[in-house]
Amino acid sequence: METYLVRLKANKELVGLFVSPSKEDLWHFVDECCDPFVCEFLRLPPGGIYRSESGAPRVPTLDRYPEDDKSIPDWFAGATLSELWLHAFYDHAVWRPIDADDFTM
């Protein structure tokens, strides 16, 4: 499994963080939320997002899930990126377009 960060080409706005068994399958995950042709991706090295000292909201369970979208907390509020991921963003990251030729559709 690989981890990919996907953003819009035009304004660099975040589309999402995706875990995919292959680059080819990434197309399908991105296609669930937007047009993959307008996106670019960055393959992330091992790392993650972790909670800060101030804590974070609890992850919902089947027994305790918010009843409406307004009750869903911001899961990543106050979260910190691991050092390797931060380096991936700032150390001459090469964002690649999501090209139809490179992906199975």
To the nearest whole percent, how much of the chain has pLDDT over 90? 25
> What is the model's pTM?
0.71
Q: How confident is the model at residue 31 (pLDDT cuts 50, 70, 90)?
A: very high
Q: What are the phi and psi torsion angles at 97 (to 5°)?
A: -70, 150
Question: What type of residue is 72?
Answer: I
Mean pLDDT of 57-76: 60
Count Cα neighbours of 102 within 13 Å in the Cβ-side half-sphere.
Answer: 12
Quick one: how far is CA 16 from the chain centroid? 3
Confidence band of 105 (pLDDT split at 50, 70, 90): very low
Q: Where are the alpha helices (DSSP H) in the chain?
A: 23-31, 83-90
Residues paired with residue 49 on neighbouring β-strands, in sequence order: 81
User: In this structure, are residues 4 and 97 in contact, taking their beta carbons and an 8 Å threshold?
Assistant: no
